Amino acid sequence: MTSVANSTGGAGALPAPAAEPGKSVTGTRLWVAVLFLLPAFVLLGALVVYPIGYSIWRSLYDADGSGFVGLKNYGDIFANDATLTAVRNTAIWVAVAPAIVTALGLIFAVLTERVRWGTAFKLIVFMPMAISMLAAGIIFRLVYEQDPNLGAANAVAKSIHDTFVSSSVYPNARPNAAVSDLKPSGGGSFTTTGTVRAGTPAMLPLVGIAPNKLPGSPENARTASGSGVTGTVWLDFKLGGGGTKGKVDPGEKALKGVKVEAVKGGKVVASAKSGADGTFTLPASADGARLRLPASNFSAPYNGIDWLGPTLVTPAIIGAYVWMWAGFAMVLIAAGLAGVDRNLLEAARVDGANEWQVFRRVTVPLLAPVLVVVLITLMINVMKIFDLVYIIAPQPSQDDANVLALQLFLSSFGGGGNEGVGSAIGVILLLLVLPVMFVNIRRLRRERQR
């Protein structure tokens, strides 16, 4: 709107043809022009100029709107950690999201030109644009769900992980801390404090697994016997509780296949696996060693990536944004590409440039104006990003995903109820958008003059 007004103003400043006073270039009377412009001015004034003015005025008052506080609200903003995180995150958004979206859009546009089913592909990539931000937010909230059974992202992460690392038989099992001398020895393994002697069976009671959830059909445990270095690994808990802790009571189940290592002076001298009745036998050389249950016995099942945790939440939401807007960038760039003179590309190829050089040296420079438009439009769009963040970020990490527009909403209406601070954030947001707008207007004007 402003750009049009400015450019007509610019046109008016050109050396005008000698006209009658009170008449413009086109020969309309001034009052007629004013009359026609009036509705637009009234609307603009009521819907744009007045709210901006009111926001600035409001930002100088306190929460109630009754007391004048000067620039205190602005001071509060920069003294508040939440707002500073919001500023930082908005900066990340502006720097990262438009660039990725434009780059992806460019790649899609250039590639779809060459495939037979280009239109169908474009249609699919463009489709997310048809969804509201709110719906997209809900979709990605589900995609990023922590539980691999629910969240698509973690389902993928888990299946990749599990192809390379096999999970343990007894995840989450642990020694019965009350009666066992097995103590955590770093990295998830447990080592006895005492040493094992031949003829005295070692007792390694474990707990933390439900007796009815043991894999297979486990046998009852048996106390090891014999003169060698032996011991028993078993589940020191039976359904309904009871029994003596640290003793193999009747009905308590054996834990088969647990790896037991004999450690002497920090070095593994022997190792064995427990049998079906939970007993294991180590060679005589293990006499006097300490017993260690390595972490591989207990490693918890891989639970995927914490997408919406404090560290990854902003990149994850940017991912959702890219999914939505890549199609938009692609369509605009493809339109620009259609206007590129094919002869130039052909000439470059004839001159011996390879495809990458053609893309890099000819296509991209020719598309530069379109790319700038896309980039700037996205930048303005990203600065006021709100809905995706509000919906995708779960409560505990909302602070870490905070952006300015969200902070504006939260401090005005989200319980803080301080519309003064909210207005101040709004004004700051406006100041941040202005340079981008300025660049955009300059560029538009230059284009018009060309």
Partner 1 sequence: MRTTSSKNGTRRAARTAAALLAGALTLALSGCGGDDNKSDGGGSSESSSGLKLPSLSGQTLEVAAVWTGAEQDNFMKVMDEFKKRTGAKVNFVPTGNNTSTFLGTKIQGGKPPDVAFLPQVGVLHQFADKGWLKPLGADAKAQLTKNFSKGWVDLGAWKGTQYGVYAKAANKSLVWYNTANFEAAGISSTPKTWKDFLTTAQTLSDAGTPAVSIGGADGWTLTDWFENVYLSQAGPDKYDQLAAHKIKWTDPSVKDALTTLAQLWGKNDLIAGGNKGALNTEFPKSVTQTFSGDTPAGMVFEGDFVAANINGDTKAKLGTDAKVFPFPAVGSDSPVVSGGDVAVALKDGKGAQALLTFLASTDAAEVWAAQGGILSPNKEMDQSKYKDAITKQIAQQLISAGDNFRFDMSDQAPAAFGGTAGVGEWKDLQDFLRNPKDVAGTQQKLEADAAKAYGSG
Q: Which of residues 242-301 bind partner 1 (CB under 8 A)?
A: 242
- Total residues at the site for partner 1 (CB under 8 A)? 33
Residues in the chain: 450
* Window 120-159: contact mask with partner 1 (x via CB under 8 A): --------------------------x-------------
Nearer to partner 1, 182 or 362 (CB): 182
- Which of 91, 399, 430, 443 binds partner 1 (CB under 8 A)? It is 399
**One-letter-per-residue 3-state SS of 100-159:** HHHHHHHHHHHHHCCCCCHHHHHHHHHHHHHCCHHHHHHHHHHHCCCCCCCCHHHHHHHH
Cα dihedral 426, 429, 435, 439 in deg (nearest 10): -90
Q: Output the smallest distance, CB 146 to partner 1, in A.
A: 5
Report whether 360 contacts 110 (CB < 8 A).
Answer: no
Closest-CA residue to 86 (of 421, 375, 437, 434): 421
Closest separation between CB of residue 80 and partner 1, Å?
9
Alpha helices in 45-112 (DSSP H): 50-58, 72-79, 81-112
Q: Which stretch binds partner 1 (CB under 8 A): 133-141, 154-162, 190-198, 232-240?
A: 232-240
Among 418, 419, 424, 425, binds partner 1 (CB under 8 A): 418
Shortest spacing between CB 408 and partner 1, in angstroms: 14
Name the residue nearer to partner 1 (CB basis): 105 or 148: 148
Contact positions with partner 1 (CB under 8 A) in 323-352: none
Q: What is the Cα–Cα distance from 261 to 282, expressed in whole angstroms?
A: 9
Find how far residue 8's CA is from the centre of its chain: 44
Closest CB to partner 1 among residues 228, 416:
416
Among 228, 246, 257, 309, binds partner 1 (CB under 8 A): 309
Cα 227 to Cα 198: distance, rounded to the nearest angstrom? 6
181 binds partner 1 (CB under 8 A): no
Q: Which of 44, 56, 82, 138 binds partner 1 (CB under 8 A)?
A: 82
Identify which of 303, 259, 258 has the alpha carbon closest to the alpha carbon of residue 162: 303
Q: Binding to partner 1 by residue 414, rule CB under 8 A?
A: yes
Please report how close the Cβ of residue 422 comes to partner 1 at its closest, in angstroms: 13
* Binding segment (CB under 8 A) for partner 1, from list 111-119, 122-130, 202-210, 375-383: 202-210
**CA 303, 310, 99 angle in degrees (round to 5)?**
105
Q: Which is nearer to partner 1, 83 or 377 (CB)?
A: 83
Does residue 188 interact with partner 1 by CB under 8 A?
A: no
Cα–Cα distances in angstroms (integers) from residue 31 to residues 2, 10, 20, 23, 169, in the given order: 21, 20, 14, 9, 87
**In terms of CB distance, is 147 or 341 closer to partner 1?**
147
Q: Can you tell me the distance from the alpha carbon of 261 to that of 277, in angstroms, rounded to the nearest whole number? A: 18
